[in-house]
Amino acid sequence: MPYPPFTTFGRSNRRLILGLIAAHLLWSGALLGLCAAGRLMEAPGLWWAAGFLALQLYAAGQLILPVLRLHPFDRSRLFYLFWGLVLAMSIWLINQVSPGEAWSPLLTVLKSGLLLLVATLTGTVLARHITRLWEILPICLVMTLADLVSFFHGPTAGFAREIEQYYRRPEGPVPLIDMVLVKLVFPGTVGLAPVFGISDWIMVVFFAVVASRHGVNDNLFGTPGETLARQGRIGSYLPVSVAALFAGTVLAQATGLFIPALPLIALIVLLWYAGRFLLRRRAG
């Protein structure tokens, strides 16, 4: 059976993806409004910062709902290569724009929205290749070991120091790694601050889609995400992977230490999956 053209999507998926793009633009616009509100606050405490972070991640979690409705499809490697290059080029191109200071917040929120969109699509594609739920165990193990090795003996710690130094004293060229860091709003600050990397959100979406495909309810608010997506209900979805990312970020902010988010996300998600599995067995 021949593959369809490598540049096209199915009609139903095309509508969902266009809606996903529009939703990310709305999220970016809301971020810009929150940025303006945050500037009015002087010397807010940790609780305010945590509240701002929770609101933004909660809103970002709603952006996962449309991909839970995407129809599975068989595509050639050329399809994934083509669109992977398009998405990577879009990230590179938007970072080549140098607006004036007045337009900098708008460009920053658009960059964050684009990174979330690319990560959401990437995590969804990766999740499609998990045919059995247990297959996430070796993935989590490898992901955790790679992140820890990179932090202690690889480039991650160096990247973290570069970013911290640049945002404390923004002198010289922007570090290259800044291109793939999602910036969010914190009260009392003029601009947005980097919070997590694109790889963190890829895995957040990956775990949410895997849970949906394999019948694991990962919504902390109750109703499974796929059901909410089909009913068109937003505001009632908080996947455990988003909550895990929030916990890791707050822990890093509270301690002042750089804490790799991926191992913590993997640990919390696996514990949740195990708990749901044991509850299902007990109920059965």
Of 7-11, 113-117, 188-192, the one with minimum mean pLDDT is 7-11
Closest CA to 56 of 28, 84, 97, 81: 28
Give the model's pLDDT for residue 47: 83
* Tokens (6 digits) for 273: 């999956």
pLDDT tens across 52-97, in order?
A: 999 999 999 999 999 998 877 767 778 888 888 999 999 999 998 8
**Percent of residues, the chain, with pLDDT higher than 70:** 93
Give the model's pLDDT for residue 163: 75
SS3 of residue 194 by DSSP: strand
**Amino acid making up residue 164:** E
207 within 8 A of 126, measured Cβ to Cβ:
no
User: How would residue 25 be classed by pLDDT, with cut points 50, 70 and 90?
Assistant: very high
Q: Which residue has the higher pLDDT, 210 or 72?
A: 210
Say if residue 205's pLDDT is above 90. yes
Q: Which residue has the higher pLDDT, 235 or 162?
A: 235
Phi/psi at 256 (nearest 5 deg)?
Answer: 75, 15
| Chain mean position to CA 128 | 17
Give the model's pLDDT for residue 45: 74
Which residue's structure tokens are 């455990």? Answer: 240
Angle between helices 136-153 and 198-213 (to 10 degrees): 170
**Amino acid making up residue 59:** A
**At 131, which helix (H) or strand (E)?**
none
Give the model's pLDDT for residue 256: 67
User: How would residue 242 be classed by pLDDT, with cut points 50, 70 and 90?
Assistant: very high
User: How would residue 162 be classed by pLDDT, with cut points 50, 70 and 90?
Assistant: confident
Of 144-158, 217-231, 235-249, the one with minimum mean pLDDT is 144-158
Q: Which residue has the higher pLDDT, 275 or 73?
A: 275
Q: Mean pLDDT over all residues of the chain?
A: 86
Give the model's pLDDT for residue 284: 61
Give the model's pLDDT for residue 209: 95
Say if residue 1's pLDDT is above 50. no
What's the CA gap between 278 and 217, in Å, rounded? 13
Domain boundaries, the chain: 11-283
Phi/psi at 195 (nearest 5 deg)?
Answer: -120, -45
Q: Which residue has the higher pLDDT, 264 or 169?
A: 264
pLDDT tens across 171-198, in order?
A: 777 788 889 999 999 887 777 888 999 9
30 within 8 A of 59, measured Cβ to Cβ:
yes
